């Protein structure tokens, strides 16, 4: 057993982004075959077969939302299946902190205990590097592993979905669900929510390097924005975070745990869903493995896949839903030919631009054993201090060139140095910005390697496979250097560490990008929404799988194209909106909410 000091040393390695003893299980054991019968609101009865109104595969960012919202109807019973464990909620002992301490994110992000620990194929556009893709395998999914950055994307992202034929997913129909999900510590307004389950806050460190970054952005000619999730995304300002009272506020904390006391919600862990059970073209339930046993459970109304952009297409393919030719090669009987399953894979790449800091004010000292112990004890006792933040408290969005409709480059600033996904400690006093394009043109795919569900699928993002993507990254490096050269950083700016002074020409910058860019952990779009006439669409605008009945997909995989920002907030919004669709409620709608557009759109960055 690790001592507290050793544990804190691991926990406070500040990792790149990206979203405690076990609570006694309030769910009903599947082996007891107890459920809430749909005809009764408060009576638990035995059934000869185990069935529920809804079976949800995946207790991640979307699945926890659905479990809460669908179980609000007392006449419906809901089963939530998660392959991983519980998220180890804090208790009075306050010693199980590995997920809930915001600064401890590297502890779980960089090992496989709560993590699927995926890797891609070697990337031709990135010097044949194999890229690491962490994804959550725990209650809360990736919202229990991420860096807790809450970014919705730009309103135009959702209008673009509608233009691609996805009716009812424009900004006017999505904004109300962002608000419904959220309680912002600054209070409700036209853009922020005030009474939702998801608590959102701003950073509390007031670090001088964050102030310098925001000021430098303005000195470089970009605007200040007081809310990049509100009227004006464009510019530099303070970022929102899913942190509440000093603790990570995942969807497990926000949605699942408050609903566990409901008699019509059953949440099971350690359940690896291996296939969907069909009766013809209708989904009737799922088969899963738990504690070495293979079990089946049935859905009276719907099976809902919420496994994320990798697991949901993988499960469809294992169940015979996908490209018929490829399924035949693996000996999988075809249920529905849908060639779009696993296609259209999109992700955000990013890289670090790092400078030494001339003053001893970065997080370098915080990663020394004595300081880590001190920080950890403050958090354990009061949930305050440097342990209560992931330190990505400022950021920005800009347009790479004139005429771009909305920002296509994102910045996350960190008053520290990150090495190898945070698995190696900082070597020097340094600060950095994570920067990358938001709407790259490179598109990849996910395919089965084996019909064994325990074998990870083949992941091919095709990073940097277009000249445009290479140019955008080159511009990202040049524009970041321009920002760091501003007067606001004069008191702090030491020599550039990455890319380094030797990297100056376009060819040298391109080589640096190929060597150092990495995933921002935002896989999406592999079961995209679209009309039935779109041969690559997997689900319709109500997230029903084309050609099948009783089956929906609700997670980041349904995005028609990736949004301009982090994906946790949009995934939660998708699940909130889907819950209303599933319950047959009319969509919330907030028409003509204003969105900022600069006067200089056609003439300036």
In 150-179, which positions are buried (b, 16+ CB within 10 angstroms) versus exposed (e)?
bbbbbbbbbbbbbebbbeebbbbbbbbbbb
Residues recorded for the chain: 605
Q: 3-state DSSP call for residue 265?
A: strand
Tokens of 25: 């299980």
Query: Which pLDDT score is estimated for 42?
Result: 26
**Are 547 and 160 in contact, with CB atoms under 8 Å apart?**
no
What are the catalytic residues? 522
The pTM score is 0.92
Architecture in CATH for domain 1-110+139-596: 3-Layer(bba) Sandwich (3.50)
Kindly tell me the burial class for residue 66, based on how many C-beta atoms sit within 10 Å of its own C-beta (0-12, 13-18, 19 or more).
buried
**Are 523 and 119 in contact, with CB atoms under 8 Å apart?**
no
Query: Which pLDDT score is estimated for 193?
Result: 98
Tokens of 122: 């070697």
Q: Are strands 394-398 and 409-414 parallel, antiparallel or unpaired?
A: antiparallel
The DSSP secondary structure of 498-512, one letter per residue, reads ES-TT--SHHHHHHH
pLDDT tens per residue across span 223-251 = 999 999 999 999 999 999 999 999 999 99
Task: Provide the 8-state DSSP code for 106.
Answer: H
First to last CA, the chain: 54
Query: Which pLDDT score is estimated for 496?
Result: 98
Tokens of 324: 């018929």
pLDDT tens per residue across span 177-213 = 999 999 999 999 999 999 999 999 999 999 999 999 9
- Per-10-residue mean pLDDT for the chain, 605 residues long? 37 35 35 32 40 98 98 98 87 66 89 93 98 96 97 98 96 98 98 98 97 98 98 98 97 97 98 98 98 97 98 98 98 98 98 98 94 94 96 97 95 94 86 98 98 98 98 98 98 98 98 97 98 97 98 98 98 98 98 91 75
């Amino acid at each position: 057993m690790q001592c507290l000091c050793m544990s804190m040393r691991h926990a406070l390695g500040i990792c790149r982004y990206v979203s405690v003893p076990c609570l006694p299980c309030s769910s009903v054991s599947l082996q007891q075959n107890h459920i809430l019968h749909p005809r009764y609101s408060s009576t638990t009865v035995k059934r000869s077969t185990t069935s529920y109104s809804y079976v949800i595969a995946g207790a991640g960012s979307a699945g926890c939302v659905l479990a809460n919202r669908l179980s609000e109807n007392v006449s419906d019973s809901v089963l939530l299946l998660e392959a991983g464990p519980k998220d180890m909620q804090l208790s009075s002992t306050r010693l199980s902190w590995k997920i809930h301490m915001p600064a401890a994110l590297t502890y779980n992000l960089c090992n496989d205990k709560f993590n699927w620990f995926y890797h891609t194929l070697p990337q031709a556009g990135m010097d044949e590097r194999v890229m690491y893709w962490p994804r959550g395998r725990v209650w809360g999914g990736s919202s229990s592993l991420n860096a807790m950055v809450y970014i919705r994307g730009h309103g135009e992202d959702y209008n673009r979905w509608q233009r691609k034929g996805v009716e009812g997913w424009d900004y006017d129909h999505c904004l109300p669900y962002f608000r419904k999900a959220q309680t912002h510590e600054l209070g409700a307004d036209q853009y922020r929510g005030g009474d939702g389950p998801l608590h959102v806050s701003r950073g509390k460190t007031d670090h001088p390097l964050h102030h310098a970054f925001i000021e430098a952005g303005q000195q470089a000619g970009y605007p200040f924005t007081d809310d990049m999730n509100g009227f004006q995304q464009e510019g530099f300002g303070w970022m929102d975070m899913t942190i509440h009272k000093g603790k990570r506020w995942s969807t497990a904390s926000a949605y699942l745990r408050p609903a566990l006391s409901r008699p019509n919600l059953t949440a099971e862990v350690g359940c690896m869903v291996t296939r969907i059970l069909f009766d013809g073209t209708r989904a009737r339930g799922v088969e899963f493995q738990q504690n070495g046993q293979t079990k089946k459970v049935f859905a009276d109304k719907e099976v809902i896949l919420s496994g994320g952009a990798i697991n949901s297409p993988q499960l469809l393919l294992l169940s015979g839903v996908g490209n018929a030719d490829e399924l035949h090669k693996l000996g999988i009987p075809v249920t529905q030919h849908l060639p779009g399953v696993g296609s259209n894979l999109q992700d955000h790449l990013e890289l670090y631009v790092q400078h030494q800091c001339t003053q001893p004010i970065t997080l370098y000292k915080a990663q020394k054993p004595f300081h880590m112990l001190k920080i950890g004890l403050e958090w354990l006792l009061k949930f305050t201090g440097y342990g209560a933040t992931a330190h990505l408290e400022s950021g920005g969005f800009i347009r790479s060139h004139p005429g771009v409709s909305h920002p296509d480059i994102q910045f996350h600033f960190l008053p520290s140095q990150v090495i190898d996904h945070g698995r190696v400690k900082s070597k020097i006093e340094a600060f950095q910005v994570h920067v990358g394009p938001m709407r790259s043109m490179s598109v990849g795919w996910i395919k089965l390697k084996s019909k064994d569900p325990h074998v990870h699928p083949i992941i091919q993002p095709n990073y940097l496979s277009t000249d445009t993507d290479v140019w955008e990254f080159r511009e990202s490096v040049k524009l970041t250097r321009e920002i760091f050269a501003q007067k606001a950083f004069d008191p702090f700016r030491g020599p550039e560490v990455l890319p380094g002074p030797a990297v100056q020409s376009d060819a040298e910058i391109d080589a640096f990008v190929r060597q150092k860019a990495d995933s921002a952990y935002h896989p999406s779009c592999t079961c995209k929404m679209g009309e039935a006439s779109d041969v690559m669409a997997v689900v319709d605008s109500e997230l029903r799988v084309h050609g099948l009945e009783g089956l929906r997909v609700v997670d980041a995989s349904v995005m028609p194209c990736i949004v301009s920002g982090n994906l946790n907030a949009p995934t939660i919004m998708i699940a909130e909106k889907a819950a209303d669709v599933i319950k047959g409620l009319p969509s919330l709608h907030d028409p003509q909410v204003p969105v900022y557009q600069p006067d200089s759109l056609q003439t300036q960055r």
